[in-house]
Structure 1
Amino acid sequence: MEDGMARRARDVYVEWRGGTCRVKWWSGDYHDDGRKRFESKGGFTDEDEAYDYGLDKMSEIRAGTAVSNRDSSTLMSNWIDDWFAATDHAYTTRKSYKAIINKHIRPYFRGKTVGEIDVITYRAFRKHIFAKLPAAGSAKNVMTVLGMILDDAVPRLIKVSPVERQRKRGRYVKTTKRERKRDLDIAVVDQLARNAEVVFGYPGYVMYWTMAMTGMRPGELFGLRREYCYPNWPRSDPRPDPDEEDRYKDDVLRYGVGDELMPAIRVQQQVQQEEGRLAEVPPKYFSYRTLVVPPFLAEMLDKLLASHDRKWVFPAIEGGCLGSVRFSDDYWAPISQGAEERKPVRGSRKSRPAIPKVPDFAGKRMYLIRHGHKAWLDEDGHSRFAVESRMGHEVPGVEGTYSSVTVAMERAIMKALQQRWDEFQREKTAPSE
């Protein structure tokens, strides 16, 4: 066809301009004045090829699978902003996603459109991020966020996601390396508790025994208020939810102080830093739960609450919340890794004796104490449903629907934990051979 001439059929046009031709097709939309809105693609040297391309685009439009040139040209940075604004996650998750986006994803794809992110570009980014972040877990977190961003761009901005899913064909190859854990020795818990007592007094000593005997998460321990702790709870429960009246009544009949009642802690919240301030928020996964405690720990908690009038069961050195301090550096590091003797400096710094290192936890996460608690429960053969409920986990399927934690199950847990303590005390006081 000669220059300037056009071919039209079914709202598809082919135009020659110089040595190449361009195809135009109706996008299915209209301008404000009622005229049809067309899109185009140039650079063809064969008119039939260009015309067939236009017909294919029209077919996609009719099938509802087409992506307009305008949408595919959306800048990646703009799509990231829209995607993030539409997410609905807990504060810590949003904070983590925002950090990953701003530190890794946004800078790498600056200036690129969503339509330009193909499989090759995706692979290049994956190679880049795994080289930049040696810790495989950190790199995988970045790839997970990018995968969600690109997956959600389908079908409006791109036809298919370039995210490559791991295939399960062929020989199995283990790709994830589990964190190596040691059995939680009760003597190790005792040493951690004694070290904590040196760092922040009796609250520290009781807090570590509480974590080992309940499996509570750190944020839940930091945010435990005295009205939710034995011996005050359940009679001191603020009862904020009118829909929970039946549970409140049952709690009074089941838990508390007395021969027929079981001492317990109510996990009703945790504390987190939100925008530079301490916030009291629901426990992770909204895992509200009641945790019975063995008698020895009940005595410790009773003594602890009688020793101070703070809001928090386990107050920090200055009396505030542990969620507001640099706990990992100023508390956990000397507790787990040990510390040399500290002498006072002009009265502004209290003296502190040397703290022994705890090899099993030096350089490890405090969270592993929680893992050890579950291992203890599993060793003792308790009901799987009772164990998972105590850990704050949802049990899926029929088991989760029909099971419940009975008084007998809770008493069995109390008894087993008390036996661990009693055996440990006997071993400590037994004369050496």
Structure 2
Amino acid sequence: MSEFSTAQVHAGEARDAAHGARVTPIYLTAGFEFDSYAQAEGRFGGDEPGYTYSRSGNPTTAALERRVAALEGGREAIAVGSGQAALTVALLGLVQAGDHILSAQSVYSGTRGLFENGLRRLGIEIEFVDDPTDLTEWRRRVRPNTRALFGESIANPGTDILDIAGVAAVAREAGVPFIVDNTLATPYLLRPGDHGADIVVHSASKYLGGHGSTLGGVVVDQGSYDWASSPFAHLTGPDEWLEGASYVEAHGAAAYTAFSRSVVASLFGPVLSPLNAFLIQQGVETLSLRVQRQSDTALAVARWLEAQPEVSRVDYAGLESHPSYPLALRYLPKGQGAVLGFTLAGGSVAAERFYDSVELFSRMTHIGDVRSLILHPASTTHAHLRREVREETGIGDGLLRLSIGLEDPDDLIADLARGIAAVATADATVADAVVAAAGR
């Protein structure tokens, strides 16, 4: 299937031969019955295909895994219960206490929380590259115990574009995998594996599902990293569960996926419900249609906001004024995604007036919905961060983040104009009061 729009509907599907169902059935079952003692033994031993327990695998979930892997151009995928779980599984399939992860500075707040409050408790070192466009800085910060490089294809919420090929080259030089969170770009706008990423993760709760109705996450092994020559002893060394063989010996190029699925995902248990897998797969079937429309509308909204005097900055890589615009042209020619930020010159006071004035935008923390959403990061998702970290990553008091949905662009702009009017009216009132006071 050479075309994306065809693959998003058909890739990885398995027809229900027994009943003729055209849509992937929902196998809402905890376990699976065995025909015999020998079959049970064979399935648990890996000698016979089939399923044992939905924590380890489920036909509905497997169909979603095959489709997302195909859309990303990957070798194999693992679907789990959330985007946060996807990144956790991806990393714990690689690192252990004493290892070091090197990450871009501008990342989703939940990712930063996982790094700083989750993995550090396990003895895993985290370091952030302040300027992810500086490849020399990435090289300088690589250590002997570095085991993964990480970044987001489109950063949330600053929308900085990652130089994927450049960072991938650094990772190859260091001999470690490069992980890219591709949630905001989606495989429709960008496939990180085509530019050198080894592992791709998604919060499927966002654009893959697309309707704000379910949680899920996916880890995709691109099949580009040589696990046999890697520094990961848990993959190359003998393993008790494999009767002394290594994961590389037992699974070859699939060693990382096999370990991450059977040890990390299965034993830690971040299971994706078969119902959620079904809903996400339904969303994937319209991915290109939604994301193209949302990206086009986001650019129109960003251009309108940039022309407003009350707005001091617009963060959207599709604008010529954005520092990542050259990278956007290189990596995202079809569109630059549907998330953007803008900063009001009046700071938090102006942001609150604006936020409370809109009527069409839903006030909530989420992105990728068919409905347009608005959020004030500094007082919500990023409130726990130190002020200096917020400032370093562009999370100012006047910043508002938008996730653009499928509404008509004119209606969205009219709603944003309502917010601008509320800010302008308040500013004019303050100015009149100052003039009046000066005249007394």
Q: What is the TM-score of this pair, normalised by structure 2?
A: 0.25
Say which one has the larger Rg.
1
Q: Higher relative contact order by CA 8 Å / sep ≥ 6: 1 or 2?
A: 2
Q: What is the TM-score of this pair, normalised by structure 1?
A: 0.25
